[in-house]
Chain A
């Protein structure tokens, strides 16, 4: 049973525009959320995180929004750059747990 879902397997955006990647979760115990970025033949690298006490966290061009009532989070990239082209995974964990639950990923292509 997939507890973290990324329903869009791919997304294409023009350079300079906003990229919005979405993620939904089902477990109300999740209280920490992360986004990872993955290039081909490399392991995922941490991008940005948010805890459930916040509804927004910003780091440069990257902003993560959390809507706890909807069990939804999103990653905004503004402005998008060709180097942002990668697969993005969202992940969630619960304070009481040992593991992160990952979504299936969204492949972002930023068109120059």
Chain B
């Protein structure tokens, strides 16, 4: 079956522009996570969606970052007024349920470069 897909795979943008990153989770997975991996760093949690519950936004680094998940499926991560420090690989993952013990299935990531 299809795994988690993300688009675009690469995005180069100029400082100050807005970007949108898309994630299509595995069908039927109720939980969706966004992470980012900056150079030399681990995966940094950004936001978590579970079903129709309010998302856990505790990892978003600033108010320039926002995410939504429409219809409990596709998710979009938006970064406004991008800065060079936003350059990173943004990874999306989905899992079958709410419990933190569930394995997460990752997409291939979107590499964002802010010039």
Residues of A participating in the B interface, judged by any CB pair closer than 8 Å: 2, 4, 6, 32, 34, 36, 41-46, 49, 51, 89, 91, 93-95, 97-105
Tell me, in angstroms, the Cα distance from A105 to B91 when the chains sit together: 15
Known: A41-B108, A43-B4. A49 touches B103 (CB 8 A): yes
Tell me, in angstroms, the Cα distance from A49 to B95 when the chains sit together: 15
Is there an interface contact between B106 and A2, defined as CB atoms closer than 8 Å?
A: no
Q: For residue A9, which residue of chain B has the nearest CB?
A: B40
CB distance from B38 to the nearest CB of A (A): 10
Question: Does B59 lie at the interface of the complex (its beta carbon under 8 Å from any beta carbon of A)?
Answer: yes
CB distance from B77 to the nearest CB of A (A): 15
- The total of Cβ contacts below 8 Å across the A-B interface reads 60
Q: Could you say which of B40, B41, B104 contacts A100, with CB atoms under 8 Å apart? A: B104
Residues of B within 8 A of A46 (CB): 103-105
Tell me, in angstroms, the Cα distance from A29 to B51 when the chains sit together: 25
Is there an interface contact between B100 and A94, defined as CB atoms closer than 8 Å?
A: yes
Is there an interface contact between A104 and B48, defined as CB atoms closer than 8 Å?
A: no
Q: Could you say which of A93, A98, A99, A104 contacts B40, with CB atoms under 8 Å apart? A: A104
Is there an interface contact between B100 and A104, defined as CB atoms closer than 8 Å?
A: no
Is there an interface contact between B103 and A43, defined as CB atoms closer than 8 Å?
A: no
Q: Kindly identify, within residues 72 to 113 of chain B, every residue whose CB is under 8 Å from any CB belonging to chain A.
A: 91, 93, 100-101, 103-109
CB distance from B74 to the nearest CB of A (A): 17
Is there an interface contact between B106 and A101, defined as CB atoms closer than 8 Å?
A: no
Tell me, in angstroms, the Cα distance from A40 to B41 when the chains sit together: 15
Residues of B within 8 A of A2 (CB): 42
Is there an interface contact between B42 and A102, defined as CB atoms closer than 8 Å?
A: yes
Residues of A within 8 A of B4 (CB): 43
Known: A32-B101, A43-B4, A99-B100. A104 touches B42 (CB 8 A): yes
Question: Does B35 lie at the interface of the complex (its beta carbon under 8 Å from any beta carbon of A)?
Answer: yes
Residues of B within 8 A of A101 (CB): 45
